[in-house]
Structure 1
Amino acid sequence: MSHSLLPFVLFALVASISPGPTNLLILAHGARHGLQASVAPILAACVAAAAIVLLVGLGLAEVLLRHPLAQQLMSWGGVLWLSWLAWQLLRAAGAPLHGEGEQRFGAFSAASLQLINPKVWMMAVAVIGVFATPGLPVWQLALVFLVVALPCMTGWALLGVGSARWLQSPQRVRRFNQLLAGLLLVSAWSAVLA
């Protein structure tokens, strides 16, 4: 591994493993539906985030910088959508983990979330601004980010799967959903208000 790649790998690790909207939703999905059902949203979210790194590196960042209103609309749209997801978690606070007809966090939702997730866009701009060099091209940054993000997000799903054993009582499920909803709100709003 080159010396210029190691700092980026560490950055990608921190960005991927730290709590954020997608990781929290994958945690909840893992607890409710298990690891196998979480594979598709994990892949979709990680590929979408890597694609955003690639697109930002290929010039999308410059377009967004020239249109601050577009940036603001994306950020506020993302925060509002994430707030709605937090509300859904609160509404389901007392529901059993494995309810009938429950809507899952699918691959399309996971990928779409990356498009409006302020954390992903700030991370992508930081990646390109700090790490993109002639010796470390944008496509390589996106690929390394994908490789680092996949096991990190899988770890969040496994944490959810492990917590499902603890969440056998309605009171624990309620507290778990309330905690995740609160963390989701904090992560979404802190990204926009920072």
Structure 2
Amino acid sequence: MQTLDGLALFVLAATMSPGGATALATASGMNFGYRRSLPLILGISLGLAVMAAAAAAGIEGIFVAVPVIQTAVKIAGTLYLLWLALQLSRTGAPKTTGSAASPASIAGGAWLVLYNPKGWAMTTGAAASFSSIADGPVATAVLLGFVFGCFASFSLSVWCLGGQLLRRVLTRDWEWRALNIALALLLVASILPIWTQS
């Protein structure tokens, strides 16, 4: 029987690994600070929790049964990530006053993760590997949703605080632009697995 410790280690590794969500959390920490980035962190964490619960309940099978739904979600998600990357690449040093930019919302954070095949792969992998840890699919769904939500909040907070620390180091506008372009390119690179993973 799988253990809670094993589940915790799996989810920690999965949520700490670099990807689109962690790049956005880092960029948000750099540009807006931790407190103003909390809606993004909360949205991604809630989205991942819902995804994990749905995977444990077997909903991921809908994507297998109706491939057109999966394709539509991939297209929408790709367009959303490209739009985010474009916005990020145009960003320089944060302005203390008069800035029109604003951090992502809870809904924006949730949307980011719900279309992502990497998220589905890690949550369905966890559901398959740790299904015996709870009594029945409902209990497994609740447990996985809770664990993924909590660990995602922690992991994204670490990445966001790292971005906030970078804010103290970067002093010139060109440095900000270069780092934001690099993070935007990471977002674009995170699109490739969406189309190469089944």
Q: Same fold (TM over 0.5)?
A: yes
Equivalents in 2 of 1:150, 1:104: separation in Å? 16
Dislocated runs of 4+, deviation >6 Å: none
Gaps of 5+ in 2: none
Residue 180 of structure 2: aligned partner: 177
Structure 1 residues 39-93: Cα deviation after superposition (integer angstroms, max 9, x where no partner): 222122101211111112223112222112211221232122112211222222x
Taking only aligned residues, the RMSD between alpha carbons, in angstroms, comes to 1.8
Residue 130 of structure 2: aligned partner: 131
Q: Quick one: structure 1 residues 23 and 36, their matched pair in 2 at CA, closer, same or farther if it must change by over 3 Å? A: same
SS in 2 for 1:97: coil
* 1:152 partnered with 2:138: no
SS in 1 for 2:59: helix
Gaps of 5+ in 1: none
Query: Do 1:132 and 1:141's aligned partners in 2 also have CA atoms closer than 8 Å?
Result: no
Residue 20 of structure 1: aligned partner: 19
Query: Do 1:17 and 1:152's aligned partners in 2 also have CA atoms closer than 8 Å?
Result: yes
Letter in 2 for 1:159: G
Letter in 2 for 1:186: A
Query: Do 2:90 and 2:177's aligned partners in 1 also have CA atoms closer than 8 Å?
Result: no
Which deviates more from structure 2 when the two are superposed, residues 143-152 or residues 126-135?
A: 126-135
Equivalents in 2 of 1:76, 1:129: separation in Å? 27
Query: Do 1:44 and 1:110's aligned partners in 2 also have CA atoms closer than 8 Å?
Result: yes
Letter in 1 for 2:183: L
- Percent of aligned pairs sharing the same letter: 28
TM-score (norm 2): 0.88
Return the match for 2:144 from 131, 141, 146: 141
Count of residue pairs brought into register by the alignment: 191
Q: Quick one: structure 1 residues 3 and 118, their matched pair in 2 at CA, closer, same or farther if it must change by over 3 Å? A: closer
Query: Do 1:53 and 1:128's aligned partners in 2 also have CA atoms closer than 8 Å?
Result: yes
Query: Do 1:29 and 1:38's aligned partners in 2 also have CA atoms closer than 8 Å?
Result: yes
Q: Quick one: structure 1 residues 84 and 20, their matched pair in 2 at CA, closer, same or farther if it must change by over 3 Å? A: same
TM-score (norm 1): 0.90
Residue 119 of structure 2: aligned partner: 120
Letter in 2 for 1:189: L
Equivalents in 2 of 1:116, 1:3: separation in Å? 28
Mapping of 1:1-194 within 5 angstroms? 4-92=3-91, 95-98=92-95, 100-133=99-132, 135=134, 137-194=140-197
Query: Do 1:89 and 1:177's aligned partners in 2 also have CA atoms closer than 8 Å?
Result: yes
